[in-house]
Amino acid sequence: MNIGIVGCGGRMGRMLAKAVLEAEGVALAGGTERAGHDAIGADIGVLADAGPCGLTVSVDTAALFERADAIIDFTVPEATAIHAGFAAKYGAALVAGTTGLDGGQHGALEAAAAFVPVVQAPNMSVGVNLLLGLATQVAAILGADYDIEIVEMHHRHKVDAPSGTALALGHAAATGRGVPLDSVSKRARDGHVGGRPAGEIGFATLRGGDVVGEHTVIFAGDGERVEITHKASSRTVFAQGAVRAAQWTADRPPGLYSMRDVLGLG
């Protein structure tokens, strides 16, 4: 399988390229960056700290989608929506790990999924996807007597908040309770906010340093508290999960899939 990386000059893009170069049964089809990026023309393998590979960073996105079997995209929401159109046009499967997508950008992925396999997930680590399943189960078992709070921390450079994974955990917990997250979500608290309403799912966002990603779902009841936590110490878990998802798309019919599908969890 030939796998391409869009946004291969960034931190995550370089790690994705390295994961593809080191994985068995796949080959790197190439990588792109936006016009004017410092990485344009550089050897992708050198950028990825994997040694020269003879492929250089390009700005020709269409050409990459045309020659790749699958594309991995951890860019920005606006770019991911555009890339979904390229995937549908050129028949390349798309693995999208971009977070912060709005309704229209999700719609672009759904439209592409009518033509090609699209795997979309806010977090592609195996551990986080297990955490999502546990959040649903625990919320269902403990019921509304337990208050739910979701705490996440990421590095100082992360631009969206709460993280896509935190929101996915909120949706998972809300699903366990049989309610839509939007009806019970509390994104921030400041000032004199009064008592906590029953059934609310709260979010707390922390940013600082070089934290790769930490997520905790707290179920706080009278007399006890249950906490389930995932801590990522390296982005390699996300890159390896994305490559696994790209390989999984081989011979899959068009459709919108999640990492739970890739891992056989749902």
89 a catalytic residue: no
In angstroms, the CA 139 to CA 33 distance is 42
3-state DSSP of the chain: CEEEEECCCCHHHHHHHHHHHHCCCCEEEEEECCCCCCCCCCEHHHHCCCCCCCCECECCHHHHHHHCCEEEECCCHHHHHHHHHHHHHHCCEEEECCCCCCHHHHHHHHHHCCCCEEEECCCCCHHHHHHHHHHHHHHHHHHHHCEEEEEEEECCCCCCCCCHHHHHHHHHHHHHHCCCHHHCEECCCCCCCCCCCCCCEEEEEEECCCCCEEEEEEEEECCEEEEEEEEECCCHHHHHHHHHHHHHCCCCCCEEECHHHHCCCC
Q: pLDDT tens digits, residue range 96-119?
A: 999 889 999 999 999 999 999 999
Phi, psi of 255 (to 5 degrees): 165, 165
The CATH architecture one would assign to domain 2-120+235-262 is 3-Layer(aba) Sandwich (3.40)
Q: What is the pLDDT of residue 196?
A: 95
Q: pLDDT tens digits, residue range 61-79?
A: 999 999 999 999 999 999 9
Peptide bond into 162 cis (omega under 30): yes
Q: pLDDT tens digits, residue range 209-258?
A: 999 999 999 999 999 999 999 999 988 999 999 999 999 999 899 999 99
Domain with CATH 3.40.50.720 in the chain: 2-120+235-262
Domain with CATH 3.30.360.10 in the chain: 126-232
Q: What is the mean pLDDT of residues 128-137?
A: 93
Indicate whether this model's pTM tops 0.75: yes
158 a catalytic residue: yes
In angstroms, the CA 266 to CA 263 distance is 8
Q: pLDDT tens digits, residue range 241-255?
A: 999 999 999 989 999
Residue with tokens 């759904």: 110
Out of 89, 106, 158, 186, the active site residue is: 158
Homologous superfamily of 126-232: Dihydrodipicolinate Reductase; domain 2 (3.30.360.10)
Out of 154, 171, 215, 230, the active site residue is: 154
